[in-house]
Amino acid sequence: MLFALITTATYGGTLRAYMLRPEYSSPISTMEEIVTSGLTWNYVLYGDEFETLLASQTDKVSRTFWENKKIVPYDEYPVHRVR
């Protein structure tokens, strides 16, 4: 009986604390927020035009994107494709 009372009180208190104060992160809506967030990003370069355009940018955020890129090669037939 005492165990059930303690367990119920603990569960109820934790649930109440979570419902009253949820911890959500704000959504990312700009390229600058991606750069400052510390997240990693990947590119699939579909042609020379996109690569040339991105490489020629002069603003700080676009330069950071280009300099810290990780290029993922395009695979027309990915391994996880359903057969």
pLDDT tens, residue order, the chain (83 aa):
888 888 998 988 888 888 887 677 778 888 888 888 877 777 666 667 877 887 888 888 888 878 887 766 666 655 665 55
Query: Does any domain span residue 75?
Result: no
Query: Does any domain span residue 74?
Result: no
Query: Does any domain span residue 9?
Result: yes
Query: Does any domain span residue 83?
Result: no
When divided into structural domains, the chain yields a total of 1
Task: Specify the pLDDT at position 27.
Answer: 83
Tell me the residue length of the chain: 83
Domain range enclosing 41:
2-25+33-67
Q: Is 38 left (phi over 0), alpha (psi -120 to 50) or beta?
A: left
Helix 48-55 and helix 60-67, axial crossing angle in degrees, nearest 10: 130
